[in-house]
Amino acid sequence: MVIVDADDVDVVSGIAWELGVGGIEEHVRPDTRVELRIGCEAERAQLVLDALSSKWSPTAESVAADEGLDAWREHAQSWRVGNMVIVPPWLETPLELADNDQVFFIDPGHAFGSASHETTRMCLAVLAELVVPGCSVADIGCGSGVLAIVAAHVGASRVIATDIAAEAIVSSLENVRRNGVEDIVEVSTAKVEEFAHASFDLVVANIGAATLCAMANELVRITKLGGVLVLSGILGEQAEGVISALETAGAANFEVRADGEWRTVVCERS
């Protein structure tokens, strides 16, 4: 747990998500500071404490398995992005639905990807705009599989969803089945370096700035010439570094979209 000023919530959450935590709950205190309850396995807790303690005063406590990671489910809600509505399957659909709305039932389990985060929603909006019928998509760092599932629904004919976390693979497999796209979306544990050269028309990775910079060459390599990269999990001050790594790797025509502190970089393999 760590108590931070409201302005620091996105930065601290960004650091924690990059370290692979399973969930973050925010509680605004009467003094307007924000209590962040960060749920992760015991072995990851020390990494989080080390990363945050130079500037904040995080503390750690053991909780029964799942207790810290599942508390958010009580407060879960549906999220709308354009005409897409992402609904936790244990809730009724509480948003007003229009005739052309598309509803997706996504249970992230202990993975990331309920659409509660700005970066997920920005990626969903870009996919709805840029996925063209019949195209191929790679979702690197798929979490709940939400981006891959939406890509399949909006027209992709082949989608690979991959992640390094076991809980993400479990969650993605369930959500792919739940949303009826198992013929289109392949959930895979393959690492990005294992994909063949220039395989995909569109590559999406909502994965954090440090990881994006480290895998920039691979992300560009697996994108077809003229294909699109959609990269998120980037804080405002990190965008320049990510763009520079991608440019060196062979990407061009950069567009940066913003939602609060968060950025999504859209570019092409030139």
Ligand X SMILES: C[S@@+](CC[C@H](N)C(=O)[O-])C[C@H]1O[C@@H](n2cnc3c(N)ncnc32)[C@H](O)[C@@H]1O
Rule CB under 6 A: which residues touch ligand X?
A: 17, 20, 111-113, 120, 123, 140-143, 146-147, 162-165, 168, 206-207, 211, 233
Cα–Cα distance for residue pair 242/219, rounded to 1 Å: 12
Residue 186 Cβ vs ligand X, minimum distance, rounded to whole Å: 15
Residue with Cβ nearer ligand X (18 or 70): 18
Cα–Cα distance for residue pair 42/167, rounded to 1 Å: 15
Identify which of 228, 180, 183 has the alpha carbon closest to the alpha carbon of residue 203. Answer: 228
Residue 71, classed as helix, strand or coil, is helix
Residue with Cβ nearer ligand X (2 or 209): 209
Residue 140 Cβ vs ligand X, minimum distance, rounded to whole Å: 5
Residue with Cβ nearer ligand X (52 or 207): 207
Cα–Cα distance for residue pair 195/182, rounded to 1 Å: 20
* Rounded (to 5) percent helix, strand, coil in the chain: 35, 30, 35
Residue 193 Cβ vs ligand X, minimum distance, rounded to whole Å: 9
Q: Report the C-alpha dihedral over residues 146, 150, 151, 156, rounded to 10 degrees.
A: 130
Residue 169 Cβ vs ligand X, minimum distance, rounded to whole Å: 9
Residue 30 Cβ vs ligand X, minimum distance, rounded to whole Å: 30
Residue with Cβ nearer ligand X (3 or 186): 186
Place of tokens 């209590």: 35
Residue with Cβ nearer ligand X (151 or 267): 151
Identify which of 187, 217, 191, 203 has the alpha carbon closest to the alpha carbon of residue 136. Answer: 203
